[in-house]
């Protein structure tokens, strides 16, 4: 903008910014917004929320709750904070996710063929604690009791 | 007879912008000595009548410069944010149109309005933006929306009828830009019509001393 007065340059910039602003949505379906959970459905799959941002509806009912972990569900109390967004920016596909740090959780449930806690590729009998161990009656060294052994949940002993 | 009149006043000059998708508008200079507000009809010789609303007017050099926008000029109004657990296109569209104070065209395909929506969230934004989002994501690809000459809001699939203009002069053709310069007897060419072999996407009519000229962008 060489040769222009500062006022003229400012006016031109303002006009340019106005054009750019007008081409952008005032509120965005690709953004995420904070909301408070009012109630959760009995099957844990949806929540009714109250968004904080006044540009959103004052209440959104039965919003699908996507934790981002397949097979996982949570039971949460009213008042938990979540984020609300729209999958692929589609206004038909609202969802809630991402609980705020420190949120209270009643129950976390995970349904999976195998659940490993504390490590990956845990080996039955050697690396899991969900089996019993007892001293050998002859040598005194510990050995595993395999009568009731979880084949689904594996957890590192230490 | 004047090429066109608006509110009963002869039009000395101006432009009429007619998009295939969106809201038509006109900037016209009227032989009027009083300010005009509210609803107005633009009568085009050998053409349609455009029903719109005066949104701005200024007296200058003895005539009235007006800006006229289709229908009730309501698509700039803010929506009331609302979340729908389900419903149909009609449910959401009816709320948007009511907020804007506009009227839906009775020529909209009822099957389109009956399309189910898995849900819907209307955020606070201009009704025009919300309408574009509804058409863009809640309806089949290629669905168009625009204000018809009668001032009603239409949504649907294009049928590309003939323009029915019997006479026009092609003053210039710019194939790379997909644009035509036309001389017309009156500003009667509408978008979403076929002129000769060309599908018209957007028309800018210019009315002046030389009569009616138009720039047409091709679909």
CATH code of residue A89: 2.40.50
Å between A10 CA and nearest CA of chain B: 26
* Predicted confidence (pLDDT) at residue A2 exceeds the cutoff of 60: no
Q: Quick check: is A27 in a domain? A: no
B chain contacts of residue A27, beta-carbon cutoff 8 Å? 123-125
**Residue of chain A minimizing CA distance to B129:** A25
CA gap A17, A135 in Å, rounded: 77
Contacts of A59-64 with CB under 8 Å at 24 or more apart are A59/B83, A60/A35, A60/A84, A60/A94, A60/B83, A60/B121, A61/B83, A61/B85, A62/B85, A63/A94, A63/A95, A63/A96, A63/B83, A64/A94, A64/A95, A64/A96
**Does the pLDDT at position A129 exceed 80?**
no
Half-sphere exposure of A139 (CA within 13 A, CB side): 3
Residue A121 pLDDT grade (very low, low, confident, very high; cuts 50, 70, 90): confident
Give dist(CA B50, CA B189) in Å, integer.
12
Q: Do residues A95 and A121 both lie within one domain?
A: no
Q: Could you say which of A61, A90, A93 has the minimum Cβ distance to residue B85?
A: A61
Per-residue pLDDT of chain B (219 residues; tens, 9 = 90+): 578 999 999 999 999 999 999 999 999 999 988 888 899 999 998 889 999 999 999 998 888 999 999 999 999 999 999 999 989 999 999 999 999 999 999 999 999 999 999 999 999 999 999 999 999 988 999 999 999 999 999 999 999 999 999 899 999 999 999 999 999 989 999 999 999 999 999 999 999 888 899 999 999
- The CA distance from A153 to the nearest CA of chain B, in Å, is 37
Helix B89-100 with B127-138: angle, nearest 10 deg = 160
The CA distance from B7 to B58, in Å, is 15
At A117, is the pLDDT very low, low, confident or very high (cuts 50, 70, 90)? Answer: confident
Residue A84 and residue A121 in one domain: no
Q: Residue A62: inside a domain, yes or no? A: yes
Closest chain B residue to the Cα of A84, Cα to Cα: B121
Q: Which residue in the set B123, B134, B137 is minimally distant from A27, CB to CB?
A: B123
Integer Cα distance of B160 and B20 in angstroms:
11
Q: Which of A72, A90, A110 is the last residue of a domain?
A: A110
**Do residues A89 and A103 both lie within one domain?**
yes
Q: Which residues of B touch A55 (CB under 8 A)?
A: 81, 123-125
CB of A54 within 8 Å of a chain B CB? The answer is yes
User: How many alpha carbons lie under 13 Å from residue B71 in its C-beta half-sphere?
Assistant: 23
What domain range is A77 assigned to?
33-110
Flag if B118 and A92 touch (Cβ within 8 Å): yes
B217 close to B173: Cβ distance less than 8 angstroms: no
How many structural domains are present in chain A?
2
Asked if A78 and A132 sit in the same domain, the reply is: no
Q: What is the pTM of this model?
A: 0.80
Put simply, whether A50 touches B (Cβ < 8 Å) is no
Residue B13 and residue B207 in contact, taking contact as beta carbons nearer than 8 Å: yes
Question: For residue A125, is it within any domain?
Answer: yes
Same domain, A105 and A118: no
Phi, psi of B67 (to 5 degrees): -115, 125
Look at B119 and A86 and tell me if their CB atoms are within 8 Å: no
d(CA B94, CA B187): 32
Interface test with A, best of B86, B121, B132 (most A CBs within 10 A): B121
Answer for the pair A26, B126: CB distance below 8 angstroms, yes or no: yes
* Smallest Cα distance from A24 to chain B, Å: 10
Q: Do A105 and A62 reside in the same domain of the chain?
A: yes
Contacts of B124 in chain A (CB under 8 A): 26-27, 54-56
Residues A86-94, mean pLDDT to the nearest whole number: 94
| Residues of chain B numbered 58-117 and touching chain A (CB < 8 Å) | 81-83, 85, 117
């Amino acid at each position: 903008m060489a040769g222009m007065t500062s006022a003229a340059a400012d006016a031109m910039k303002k006009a340019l910014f106005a054009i750019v602003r007008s081409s952008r949505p005032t509120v965005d379906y690709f953004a995420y917004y904070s909301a408070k959970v009012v109630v959760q459905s009995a099957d844990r799959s949806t929540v009714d929320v109250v968004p904080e941002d006044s540009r959103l509806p004052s209440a959104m009912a039965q919003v699908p709750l996507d934790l981002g972990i397949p097979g996982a569900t949570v039971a949460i109390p009213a008042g938990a904070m979540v984020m609300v967004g729209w999958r692929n920016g589609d206004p038909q596909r609202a969802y809630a996710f991402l609980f705020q740090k420190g949120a209270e959780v009643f129950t976390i449930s995970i349904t999976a063929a195998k659940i490993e806690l504390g490590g990956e590729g845990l080996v039955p009998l050697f690396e899991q604690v969900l089996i019993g161990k007892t001293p050998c009656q002859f040598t005194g060294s510990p050995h595993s009791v395999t009568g009731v052994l979880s084949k689904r949940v594996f957890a590192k002993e230490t | 007879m004047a090429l066109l009149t608006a509110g009963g006043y002869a039009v000395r000059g101006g432009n009429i912008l007619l998009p295939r998708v969106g809201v038509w508008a006109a900037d016209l200079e009227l032989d009027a000595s009083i300010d005009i507000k509210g609803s107005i009809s633009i009568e085009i010789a050998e053409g349609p009548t455009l029903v719109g609303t005066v949104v701005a007017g200024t007296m200058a050099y003895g005539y009235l410069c007006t800006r006229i926008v289709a229908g009730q000029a309501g698509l700039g109004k803010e929506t009331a944010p609302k979340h729908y657990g389900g419903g149909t296109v009609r449910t959401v569209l009816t709320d948007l149109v009511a907020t804007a104070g506009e009227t839906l065209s009775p020529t909209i395909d009822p099957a389109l309005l009956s399309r189910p929506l898995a849900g819907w969230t209307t955020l606070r934004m201009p009704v025009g933006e919300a309408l574009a989002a509804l058409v863009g994501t809640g309806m089949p690809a290629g669905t168009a929306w625009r204000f018809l000459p009668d001032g009603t809001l239409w949504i649907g699939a294009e049928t590309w009828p003939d323009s029915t203009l019997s006479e026009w002069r092609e003053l210039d053709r710019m194939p790379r830009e997909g644009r035509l310069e036309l001389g017309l007897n009156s500003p009667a060419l509408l978008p979403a019509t076929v002129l000769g072999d060309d599908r018209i996407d957007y028309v800018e009519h210019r009315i002046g001393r030389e009569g009616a000229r138009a720039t047409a962008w091709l679909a």
